[in-house]
Amino acid sequence: MALTEAKCTNCSAALTVDAAQDAAVCKFCGAAFIVEKAIAYHTNHIKADVINVFNSDSFNADKLADDGEALFALQDFNAAAAKFRKLTTEHPRDYRGWWGLARLLPLKEMIYETVKHGVGINMPEEFSRAIHFAPDNEKHLITEHFNKYREQYFAEAASAIQQFRAAAQIAFSAYRQAYNENKVLTKKRNLLWDAERRVENAHLTYKRRDIKLFSHLLIAIVIGCISFLFFPTGFVVAAGLLALFVLRFLLYMRRIIKLHSIPKKRAVLDHRMQEINLYGVRNEYVQLCNKCGVTPTELQD
């Protein structure tokens, strides 16, 4: 590690830096700087106040550009964007500000959106202005940078969109299948609701009547059994009343069983409908359509 004396381009503090590094941060003022420029600043004994006297505008532009490049090298992209944006505001004809902003653009996402919507890929304004104001020896470098990533990102976007479209077709088939099954289950569930309401109404209607009838039948059976001791025909009467009692009791138990079985059947249908997750399948299909830029086929809720 070769240590070299340098000066901070922000506060002019004397520093010792590693010449092999691209950028560093001043331990006195916390500003980022390019190591090569800081070494040159120290070697040439350039003082900030002297530069401000003779060429303050040039110094300010150079400082903003250097700070932006240093922050860019340190991957502090938000702070770098602020420096480059300030440079474009104060010195709009300086290509370095536009070039810095151009490199910070989300170019991959921008190209993906243009490919998704099937429109042409236009050069962003930041690239156009950087090329317009750049020296002749820099114009082709900026153009090559844009063309290189445009071709790379275009191929990636086209491949991704094709995959999303294939996945969207599969998701639509899954949605149609889920929709049809959910429709059948909903119909069965509604029938169970109707059956449960009918059974509940019948149970409430006959419940008191059955209790009275059961009590009367029991009394009649007891009377019939006692009368059998004195009259032979009393046994026949008691047997008939007992058969009627058993029949009414079976009808009563049938309603009770239905009242307990229908909710269980409905719970099974509800569980299956949750497993189908119709709206989840539908949302997945719509999201895939949005990613690949196609209009979702008309869906039914």
Whether 222 shows a pLDDT value over 70: the answer reads no
* pLDDT surpassing 80 at residue 184: yes
Q: What percentage of the chain reaches a pLDDT higher than 90? A: 3
**Is residue 5 scored above 70 in pLDDT?**
yes
Say how far apart CA 291 and CA 171 lie, in whole Å: 13
Res 49: pLDDT? 45
The model's pLDDT over 248-288, given as tens digits with 9 standing for 90+, comes to 777 777 777 777 777 788 788 887 878 777 778 878 878 77
pLDDT for residue 242? 66
Q: Are 8 and 33 in contact (CB under 8 A)?
A: yes
Mean pLDDT of 219-234: 62
Summary mean pLDDT of the chain:
77
- With 0-12 / 13-18 / 19 or more C-beta atoms within 10 angstroms meaning exposed / middle / buried, residue 162 is exposed
pLDDT at residue 50 above 60? no
Inform me whether the pLDDT recorded for 113 exceeds 80. Answer: no
pLDDT at 82: 92
Cα 96-74-136 angle, rounded to 5 deg: 20
The better pLDDT of the pair 216, 74 is held by 74
Q: What is the mean pLDDT of residues 98-122?
A: 77
Q: Give the whole-number percent of the chain exceeding pLDDT 70.
A: 75
Predicted pLDDT of residue 21: 86
Q: Choose the weakest-confidence range: 58-62, 66-70, 95-99, 204-208.
A: 204-208
The whole-number average pLDDT for the span 24-46 is: 79
CB atoms within 10 A of CB 148: 10
User: What does the pLDDT look like over 16-34, one tens digit per residue?
Assistant: 888 888 888 888 888 888 8
Is the pLDDT assigned to residue 170 strictly greater than 60? Answer: yes
- Residue 39: per-residue pLDDT: 85
Instruction: Using the predicted structure, report yes or no on whether residue 155 has a pLDDT greater than 60.
Output: yes
Give the pLDDT mean for 12-18: 84
CA triplet 15, 17, 20: central angle to 5 degrees?
Answer: 160
Confidence check: pLDDT of 301 > 50: no
What's the pLDDT score for residue 53?
A: 41
Q: H or E segment at 14? A: strand 14-18
